[in-house]
Amino acid sequence: MKVGTADTATTVDAAGMRAQNSSLLLNMIWREQQLSRAEIARRTELSPSTVSAIVADLEHSGLVRNIGAGVSRGGRRPTLIGFCDDAFSIIGVEMGATHVTVVLTDLRGRVRAHRHSPHAVREDPKGTLQKVRELVQECLDAERVPRRSVLGMGVAVPSPVHPSTPGKLSPLIVPAWRDYDVQESLKSAFNMPVFVDNDANLGALSERYWGAGVGGEDLTYIKLGTGIGAGFIIHGDVYRGSGGTAGEISHIAVDPAGQQCVCGLRGCLVTLIGTGPLLERARELMGPRGRRAPTVRELVEGARSGEAAARQVIDSLGHYLGIAVAGLLNLLNPAIVVLGGEISSVGDLLLDPLRASVRKRALSTSMAETRIVTSALGDRAIAVGAATLVLQAALRDRSLFPLQHVRKTA
Amino acid sequence: MKVGTADTATTVDAAGMRAQNSSLLLNMIWREQQLSRAEIARRTELSPSTVSAIVADLEHSGLVRNIGAGVSRGGRRPTLIGFCDDAFSIIGVEMGATHVTVVLTDLRGRVRAHRHSPHAVREDPKGTLQKVRELVQECLDAERVPRRSVLGMGVAVPSPVHPSTPGKLSPLIVPAWRDYDVQESLKSAFNMPVFVDNDANLGALSERYWGAGVGGEDLTYIKLGTGIGAGFIIHGDVYRGSGGTAGEISHIAVDPAGQQCVCGLRGCLVTLIGTGPLLERARELMGPRGRRAPTVRELVEGARSGEAAARQVIDSLGHYLGIAVAGLLNLLNPAIVVLGGEISSVGDLLLDPLRASVRKRALSTSMAETRIVTSALGDRAIAVGAATLVLQAALRDRSLFPLQHVRKTA
DNA sequence: TCCCGTTTCTTCGTTGTACGGACGAAGCCA
DNA sequence: TGGCTTCGTCCGTACAACGAAGAAACGGGA
């Protein structure tokens, strides 16, 4: 949908010019929250008259509104224009390995309603889609949101997504979904635009809009969970690779002497730091206490309260992850690396050994400028990221906002 | 210089509209070599009258010209418009580790003049810059190219380049260059735009324009030489990372049991498949025949003629490189991987063991769609890529083409 | 309190660009 | 030769941004 990269650009006529300038203003107002017409004119170098005309347009469509006067700079006080965060709602869906989460957000990523339900997503496509439909409907009903004020739906799936078939999941990773199309199914059920993407990609998007990467252009997100996935933001946009499998790092070999993996290699990242092996190792180390493996939450709490076994598991996680992250830094040189997934909530206990492991392996040049942090967005980050995918698309192309009937202003 | 990605876009007025459409047409004519006005109108959905006006404009500035009539489609025959490949020249410079290469190209990447000279680039900045100036002047003189018909100069350097200081080389990698600025120096010497980038990045650009990646959007180039560098084309553009060090893969560890490297790690790629260690291993294996290590050329010829020792060295190169490439495929999922550097000229002898090594390690999904090939562009690929950097910039922003005085057409 | 300069925002006429229809030129085909 | 198609140009129109001028709103100094 980009315009302007000369190789792939679209032509521009008068209407296109207006669309482009209008989108630009909308984005600026969204970013800055409040802005006067005069200020916009100064920043964009558009003439004041043009700014007024476009703002009137945006106001008319309900996306921005007058929010009172600002402080004078020596003359008449400016009238501030604000973005209407609640002009539309967005639905975000996370289909995890074993659960479904649905959120209803406004245009600023704030969650207005949410539903969560455990479900065997990988094995049961039909039931999953049914569950999604239910939870979405519940969210809509709870906030009494009319269908026409919903921008669209974003869906995070635990599988790579091929750009040319966005609704299909990878038959190699989730074979049961072979005959289902997530996009078609939900689109026909709710009659609104549906966007589908990989969960790690949407975690990355979430961080870029609402987390540690706000305003940045390049960011890498790593999702720690049953599998290990990375998502890349490059030039402000999710990078998916030519076949949509960029960031599939579960099966990067970090220990040639390691255990055999189902994929055929030895010492894959997932066999060492996937949730399963991690909890199993914790069980072994905790020894006599019990034969039940702890949950991730218990592991985190154990580490926080100083349990040696838990600490040791986290340390080894940091160590192995560091090997992969070091390779990633040398290869991609992102400005920031964000760790997500429940276990990342241990914070520094993970970051310290991770950074040490990375420091031993990465070139000092790329290291020096890269920040490595844990996510602070919580367990709804991916679902919110899914909603953000819709927001991003709409902010780029204003025509994705449905036309609302004109509101009368008092 | 992008326009349109809503986050960073520039505003558009009437003049900008014309500039954008004009650039679009120029790109199309460049790509297709010859095209009629009617055909352009059909493809761009611009009105015939607009197309005529813009083409007249381009013709007036000497970038395109009438090249006779095409075949009729049942009515009046179209008049074909062609791109003037020789309207301007571009200078491309490669500063290698131990040599300097300069080429003078037209607007289609064809080399009109070239000069090559061995030089200790890393140790002698002053002499290198002097040498570059000499060779450039020789190229200009040889073809009697007036200064005003040169678009600009592109320079490939054997070091990462930080986006904010494009003229400075990395003090960690080439300390002697600490006080020199390649861009400033050459810009003031020749009074034309100078663009500087890393050599592997420009190899990638070269492949995307003239080699295996023509027309593609995503491509990875790997330069085998004294060091190992990768260049990425993402969305048609060189990706440099946030600090300009993306693709610095020399020190990725592929053999934890390997030899100690100067960087502090064990089993870095460069200690295993850098030109130095490779030739050293060849010397050892060739045994009694001589105590002199062979040159790369000799190694290549040896492998071609079936010498066991040479084959063995190439096999191990493929093996280790495969480990790195596998990681890269899982991480970035490019459409195509191109190998460059002199040793890549062995072709299949390298590709076979490489592909085998990759196949053992990469996910079949990302593997299936990725082509791995060797470069066919020869030893001037990097210098030509440097010139291409200028071409790319000018095709995106027509205002970079100097105004020529109007030519009278007969 | 009044006056003046400043800033904000709108109004209105101008300018530049793309569009669309009409038209002549140039070809094909029967 | 005549009918039909395609190509390219010419002219008037529509639309968006611009710039100058003016009205409104405000601050500050006398």
- Enumerate the β-bridge partners of residue B208: none
pLDDT tier for residue A288 given thresholds of 50, 70 and 90? low
Q: Assess contact for A27 and A40: CB atoms under 8 A.
A: no
pLDDT at A255 over 70: yes
Among candidates A388, A339, A393, A391, which has minimal Cα distance to A156? A388
Q: Assess contact for B388 and B357: CB atoms under 8 A.
A: no
Per-residue DSSP letters for A42-62? HHH---HHHHHHHHHHHHHTT
Q: Assess contact for A197 and A156: CB atoms under 8 A.
A: yes
- How far is it, in rounded angstroms, from Cα A202 to Cα A240? 11
The DSSP symbol for A96 reads -
Nucleotide nearest to B11 (CA to C1'): D17
- How far is it, in rounded angstroms, from Cα B364 to Cα B373? 18
Strand pairing category for B34-36 and B79-83 = antiparallel
User: Where do runs of H (alpha helix) occur along A242-375?
Assistant: 269-273, 275-286, 296-304, 308-332, 348-361, 364-368
Q: CB within 7 A of strand D: which residues qualify?
A: A 14-15, 17-18, 21-22, 45-50, 53-54, 69, 72, 74-77; B 11-14, 36-39, 48-49, 52, 55-56, 72-79
Chain mean position to CA B169: 18
Q: Assess contact for B135 and B100: CB atoms under 8 A.
A: yes
Q: Assess contact for B265 and B257: CB atoms under 8 A.
A: no
Residue of higher predicted confidence among A395 and B369: A395
Domains by residue range for chain B, with CATH: 6-83 (1.10.10.10), 89-204+383-400 (3.30.420.40), 215-376 (3.30.420.40)
At A326, list the tokens: 């070091």
Residues 197-256 of A with CB under 8 A from B: 217-218, 230, 234-237, 239-249, 251-253, 255-256
Within 10 Å of residue A127's Cβ, how many Cβ atoms?
Answer: 13
- pLDDT at res. A289: 58
- How far is it, in rounded angstroms, from Cα B129 to Cα B151? 20
Residue appearing with tokens 């809009």:
A209
Residue appearing with tokens 């819709």:
A390
pLDDT at A6 over 80: no
CB-based contact, A21 to chain B, within 8 Å:
yes
Residue appearing with tokens 């400075």:
B168
CB of B53 lies under 7 Å from some atom of strand C: yes
The pLDDT tens digits of the residues spanning A50-68 come to 999 999 999 999 999 999 9
User: Is A20 close to B2, i.e. CB distance below 8 A?
Assistant: no
Å: A189 CA to D15 C1': 40
Within 10 Å of residue A277's Cβ, how many Cβ atoms?
Answer: 14
What Å distances lie between residue A157 and A129, A242, A296, B275, CA to CA?
Answer: 12, 18, 21, 44
CB-based contact, A19 to chain B, within 8 Å:
no
The pLDDT tens digits of the residues spanning A118-154 come to 999 999 999 999 999 999 999 999 999 999 999 999 9
Q: Assess contact for A321 and A274: CB atoms under 8 A.
A: no
Chain D, protein-covered positions (CB within 7 A)? 4-12, 14-21, 24-28
- pLDDT at res. A260: 86
The DSSP symbol for A266 reads B
Å: A389 CA to C21 C1': 43
Per-residue DSSP letters for A215-264? T-S-EEEEEESSSEEEEEEETTEEE--SSS-TT--TT-BS-TTS-B-TTS
Element (H, E) at A68: strand A64-69
User: Is A334 close to B241, i.e. CB distance below 8 A?
Assistant: yes
Residue appearing with tokens 């560091």:
A322
What is the average per-residue pLDDT within A293-305? 94
- How far is it, in rounded angstroms, from Cα B247 to Cα A91? 38
Among candidates A276, A365, A280, A354, which has minimal Cα distance to A318? A354
- pLDDT at res. A118: 97
- How far is it, in rounded angstroms, from Cα B153 to Cα B202? 13
A97: helix, coil or strand? coil
- pLDDT at res. A236: 93
| Residues composing chain A | 410
Element (H, E) at A196: strand A194-198
Nucleotide nearest to A12 (CA to C1'): C18
Strand pairing category for B111-118 and B99-105 = antiparallel
- How far is it, in rounded angstroms, from Cα A244 to Cα A198? 9
What is the 3-state secondary structure of chain B?
CCCCCHHHCCCCCHHHHHHHHHHHHHHHHHHHCEEEHHHHHHHHCCCHHHHHHHHHHHHHCCCEEEEEECCCCCCCCCEEEEECCCCCEEEEEEECCCEEEEEEECCCCCEEEEEEEECCCCCCHHHHHHHHHHHHHHHHHHCCCCHHHEEEEEEEECCCCCCCCCCCCCCCCCHHHCCCCHHHHHHHHHCCCEEEEEHHHHHHHHHHHHCCCCCCCCEEEEEECCCEEEEEEECCEEECCCCCCCCCCCCCECCCCCCECCCCCECEHHHHHCHHHHHHHHHHHHHHHCCCCCCHHHHHHHHHCCCHHHHHHHHHHHHHHHHHHHHHHHHHCCCEEEEECHHHHHCHHHHHHHHHHHHHHCCHHHHHCCEEEECCCCCCHHHHHHHHHHHHHHHHCHHHCCCCCCCCCC
| Residues composing chain B | 410
User: Is A242 close to B160, i.e. CB distance below 8 A?
Assistant: no
User: What is the least distance, in Å, from the CA of A342 to any CA of chain B?
Assistant: 22
- How far is it, in rounded angstroms, from Cα B103 to Cα B155? 11
Task: Please return the burial class of B216, using the count of CB atoms within 10 Å of its CB with bins 0-12, 13-18 and 19+.
Answer: middle
CB contacts of A242 in chain B (<8 Å) are 217-218, 333-335, 369-370
- How far is it, in rounded angstroms, from Cα A190 to Cα A89? 14
Q: Within chain B, which residues score under 50 in pLDDT?
A: 1-7, 406-410
- How far is it, in rounded angstroms, from Cα B350 to Cα B303? 10
- pLDDT at res. B246: 94
- How far is it, in rounded angstroms, from Cα A338 to Cα B20? 37
What Å distances lie between residue A92 and A115, A166, A205, B62, CA to CA?
Answer: 11, 16, 13, 53
What Å distances lie between residue B40 and A9, A14, A234, B397, CA to CA?
Answer: 14, 19, 33, 19
CB contacts of A328 in chain B (<8 Å) are 331
The pLDDT tens digits of the residues spanning A84-106 come to 999 999 999 999 999 999 999 99
At B338, list the tokens: 């191109």
Report which listed range, A159-173, A390-404, B192-206, is most confident: B192-206
Q: Assess contact for A165 and A182: CB atoms under 8 A.
A: no
Chain mean position to CA A246: 15
Q: Assess contact for B334 and A241: CB atoms under 8 A.
A: yes
What Å distances lie between residue B43 and A91, A141, B32, B50, CA to CA?
Answer: 37, 47, 12, 13
